[in-house]
A and B are shown apart, each in its own frame.
Chain A
């Protein structure tokens, strides 16, 4: 395990999953692997928590699930982004960018004297 691993907050998990699904439909295991690979295992997701997140987003109509056969000839549930999910992702992305920018400015700020 990485020493400087970061726990992922519930709210950001949804965004991460949406982003993951924006390229192609994927099953939960695939999503976990993708996050691991892209973040170099920095973001420590308790992988089980992906599923309630997926189910919740399915209830909201952001993702749609269907059972498919994998390359290894096994049954797996694939999730894909719906139009509503894409809209949600775009909205979350801009929120995150603004937040990250603000955060970066705060961390870079020098102490000021009044």
Chain B
């Protein structure tokens, strides 16, 4: 065997590490020799003795290989336990070291916990809203489809039902496509009458998402026709609200007075449209296919595997050309957008900005901890030097420091998880009512993975540089008693870099927050076209026989009569589509005498029916003509309409619209012009709107009641409720809110962005101040001797102070300049959230830069004063 020929000195290797093969051979050899000697002593010849020994021993090679395998097993186990033991030792050592420096440990842990907590919270939101908003496979292949009428400022509107129907039949475009119309209905027969969020679907809506029923079945596309549409699928949440009865399939629910059969229950977690409680088929009649009408059907399609949105666009263009041969793209076109991005909607830019912002905060936190360590590291230079002198290798020292950092980062990560949970609860409490998308936020595995990753990466970021530096300790310098200048230029550069990074990133955050604050101020200064103060709004839904005219009109007549008699109500109005309620109804119209090309796309305008003193209650100014009066309501013909200023300017120009006829159904005579109102957002591009008395477009069975009154909302709601009960106790009253609260909701994404950005900016500012202060203090402590000499030689305290200050300021200014450059790029991400100012708004840039400069001066001034506080004699003696 090879091992036999190894020189005997190999034995000594065993001192460090056993030599398995050698040991085994030696042991077997010893045994065989013993046996041979025994047989020889008993009188055998040497050859016979050797044979007998081998027979008694068995095959040495087989035995040896069994022994080697077992020995290797043992060595592997030993290495593992040694490694664990070493790690345990390092951990105990690290905990001891950290306990010796409680202030550093606490500050580092808190800094990291805040940084990681902020990241965890924001990532949870990103995960729930942007990454995986629905528990559905192939979400990336699902697109929303939109109509666009650029001339009318109608972009990305839902389709009209006939278009949706036509698209769902086109299997060359989609694997499956369908439409959904959000709405509500009133459930009776199960306790109190209850308003349900019901969505009516069209085509292969469920197939497009690839969802499966938890119980029962989904309805078939053909169940939308010939009056077979009285079937419903319950959402999982609603099914559980009803008691999670597995026998619910086949039961009947009374919705708006009609009896629907429950055919199935949706799989859990599928909440589209948001808040939906049940789905039922949109009834399709022959007219649905022919009439081109209202743009209301949200339409989704699932692309075939491998198909791109560009290919789809070409097909959509061809599809539109077939339907409207004379229309050009400037009149009318269809577009698509990825479901995930469209579903996240208004929150998307907010979340992306916030994710970047918390990333910055974590970087600042890491830079901060790294600089703290470098500063504290100087105090440990001697410790490291002693350990190195006692034979600790560079790797041992580096590993020790890395383990210390690991302890801090894991501790910070765990605390951060708690902070994140708390922040998330705060976010949910503060934002969920206004931002329903945030309701789905959860702590899932993706979030935990993200937090773990953030923890490890930050541990490396703040730990690696100081640890590697410490491993390079210079023995001679480190061991000299009282050496103050053992840091070297490299360490100073690292410290300076960390301060510059902190100041620069803080500037970017501060700037972002300033831009958002100014944006909100600009938005709030926008006139919505009405005065929301003291306007109470609530919604009602009429069902059953009362929901059809003429009973419906009579119901509204009576309600208004009763409400107007309430003396505490200044004005009372009714409106079908309240501004800032999220609902809108856009439908085609024609101006008599100005008919557009019949083959071209129809003109669209918002259609609102109103009643009572709606304009007065809202303080919407009447610009010309008159408001509706009792006679308009009593005599149904001729129809009358009031248009808004936008429509008047867009379509009549200098002509007088009063007396002209407009048609959005039957012809109606224009009797007045009112001011334009923002419908969904402050500062939005105005859209043409036409108002009618509720007695004319008389099918709106849900209405908003608007009451101008100084009473509290609950009181107003109570009064309206009791007046409603006097007519019909089965009419639910819901969504009671002050009008300005509704405006607040429309600002919620920007408000959230501003609030979180400002919080993060303040946090970073505090970190950066501490960072700068620490570094300047440290620099001062290093140069105490030098300052003493300078003062002894006649320098004024003010000169020394100025010198320190200048250095601190220089560092801060470099950070400010770097930050400004970075901000020029970074604020572009805010552009979709900014309103009324430029993303490079000079006021904000100068303001933020000034704030940081002042803060820098303050942070440097305190240590600068201390530099001159010690008497020169004492300083020199110390040196």
A68: min CB distance to chain B, Å:
12
Any A CB within 8 A of the CB of B58: yes
Contacts of A74 in B (CB 8 A): 30
6 tightest Cβ-Cβ pairs between the two chains A and B:
A48-B58, A48-B63, A55-B70, A46-B58, A52-B66, A29-B34
Known: A29-B31, A67-B14; 4 extra A-B contacts, CB below 8 A, are: A27-B27, A29-B30, A55-B74, A76-B27
Inter-chain CA distance A32–B57, complex, in Å, is 10
Contacts of A32 in B (CB 8 A): 31
Q: If the complex has contacts A47-B56, A48-B58, A77-B23, are A59 and B34 also in contact, measured as CB distance less than 8 A?
A: no
Any B CB within 8 A of the CB of A14: no
Inter-chain CA distance A105–B22, complex, in Å, is 49
Within 8 A of B (CB), among A5-56: 27-29, 32, 46-49, 51-52, 55-56
Q: If the complex has contacts A55-B67, A59-B73, are A48 and B57 also in contact, measured as CB distance less than 8 A?
A: yes
Interface size on B, residues (CB 8 A): 24
Any A CB within 8 A of the CB of B153: no
Residues 636-658 of chain B, each 1 if its beta carbon lies under 8 Å from chain A, else 0: 00000000000000000000000
* B77 touching A59, Cβ below 8 Å: yes
Residues 48-81 of chain A, each 1 if its beta carbon lies under 8 Å from chain B, else 0: 1101100110110000000100000011110000
A8: min CB distance to chain B, Å:
12
Any A CB within 8 A of the CB of B435: no
Within 8 A of A (CB), among B45-98: 56-60, 62-63, 66-67, 70-71, 73-74, 77
A47: min CB distance to chain B, Å:
5
* B31 touching A75, Cβ below 8 Å: no
* B30 touching A76, Cβ below 8 Å: yes
Contacts of B67 in A (CB 8 A): 51-52, 55
* A47 touching B57, Cβ below 8 Å: yes
Inter-chain CA distance A46–B26, complex, in Å, is 19
Query: 30 A-B pairs, CB-CB below 8 angstroms?
Result: A28-B27, A28-B30, A29-B34, A29-B35, A32-B31, A46-B56, A47-B35, A47-B56, A47-B57, A48-B28, A48-B57, A48-B58, A48-B59, A48-B62, A48-B63, A51-B24, A51-B28, A51-B63, A51-B67, A52-B63, A52-B70, A58-B74, A59-B77, A75-B30, A76-B27, A76-B30, A77-B23, A77-B26, A77-B27, A77-B30
Inter-chain CA distance A59–B73, complex, in Å, is 8
Inter-chain CA distance A74–B32, complex, in Å, is 14
Contacts of A55 in B (CB 8 A): 66-67, 70-71, 74
Choose one: B27, B62, B70; the contact of A56 (CB below 8 Å): B70
Contacts of A51 in B (CB 8 A): 24, 27-28, 31, 63, 66-67
Closest to A30 in B: B34
Contacts of B56 in A (CB 8 A): 46-47
Choose one: B23, B62, B70; the contact of A59 (CB below 8 Å): B70
Contacts of B74 in A (CB 8 A): 55, 58-59
Inter-chain CA distance A27–B14, complex, in Å, is 19
Contacts of A75 in B (CB 8 A): 26, 30
Inter-chain CA distance A76–B57, complex, in Å, is 17
Within 8 A of A (CB), among B8-37: 14, 23-24, 26-28, 30-31, 34-35
Contacts of B30 in A (CB 8 A): 27-29, 74-77
A61: min CB distance to chain B, Å:
10
Select the residue from B58, B60, B73 with max chain A CB neighbours within 10 A. Answer: B58
**Total cross-chain contacts (CB, 8 A):** 61
Within 8 A of B (CB), among A72-111: 74-77
Inter-chain CA distance A29–B34, complex, in Å, is 7
A96: min CB distance to chain B, Å:
24
Contacts of B71 in A (CB 8 A): 55
Closest to B70 in A: A55
B338: min CB distance to chain A, Å:
59
Contacts of B58 in A (CB 8 A): 46-49
* B63 touching A49, Cβ below 8 Å: yes
Closest to B24 in A: A51
Inter-chain CA distance A58–B23, complex, in Å, is 14
A53: min CB distance to chain B, Å:
10
B22: min CB distance to chain A, Å:
11
Residues 270-306 of chain B, each 1 if its beta carbon lies under 8 Å from chain A, else 0: 0000000000000000000000000000000000000
Closest to B11 in A: A75
Inter-chain CA distance A52–B562, complex, in Å, is 102
* A47 touching B31, Cβ below 8 Å: yes
Contacts of B23 in A (CB 8 A): 77
Closest to A54 in B: B67
Inter-chain CA distance A47–B58, complex, in Å, is 7
Contacts of B14 in A (CB 8 A): 67
Q: If the complex has contacts A55-B70, A59-B73, are A48 and B34 also in contact, measured as CB distance less than 8 A?
A: no
Inter-chain CA distance A51–B58, complex, in Å, is 11
Inter-chain CA distance A46–B53, complex, in Å, is 10
Contacts of A56 in B (CB 8 A): 70
Inter-chain CA distance A74–B27, complex, in Å, is 11
Select the residue from B31, B60, B71, B74 with max chain A CB neighbours within 10 A. Answer: B31
Closest to B59 in A: A48
Inter-chain CA distance A89–B462, complex, in Å, is 55
Inter-chain CA distance A58–B27, complex, in Å, is 15
Select the residue from A46, A47, A75 with max chain B CB neighbours within 10 A. Answer: A47
B780: min CB distance to chain A, Å:
59
Contacts of B31 in A (CB 8 A): 28-29, 32, 47-48, 51
A31: min CB distance to chain B, Å:
10
Choose one: A46, A52, A59, A77; the contact of B57 (CB below 8 Å): A46
Closest to A52 in B: B66
Closest to A75 in B: B26
Closest to A47 in B: B57
Inter-chain CA distance A28–B30, complex, in Å, is 9
B8: min CB distance to chain A, Å:
10
B113: min CB distance to chain A, Å:
43
Choose one: B60, B70, B77; the contact of A48 (CB below 8 Å): B60
Contacts of B62 in A (CB 8 A): 48
Contacts of B34 in A (CB 8 A): 29
Inter-chain CA distance A28–B60, complex, in Å, is 14
A92: min CB distance to chain B, Å:
20
Contacts of A49 in B (CB 8 A): 58, 63
A104: min CB distance to chain B, Å:
31
A10: min CB distance to chain B, Å:
12
Closest to A31 in B: B31
Closest to B63 in A: A48
Closest to A70 in B: B30
Inter-chain CA distance A81–B28, complex, in Å, is 21
Contacts of A52 in B (CB 8 A): 63, 66-67, 70
Contacts of B57 in A (CB 8 A): 46-48
Select the residue from A29, A58, A59, A77 with max chain B CB neighbours within 10 A. Answer: A29
Closest to B71 in A: A55
Closest to A59 in B: B74
Contacts of A29 in B (CB 8 A): 30-31, 34-35
Contacts of B26 in A (CB 8 A): 75, 77
Contacts of B35 in A (CB 8 A): 29, 47
Residues 575-611 of chain B, each 1 if its beta carbon lies under 8 Å from chain A, else 0: 0000000000000000000000000000000000000
Inter-chain CA distance A59–B34, complex, in Å, is 26
A39: min CB distance to chain B, Å:
14
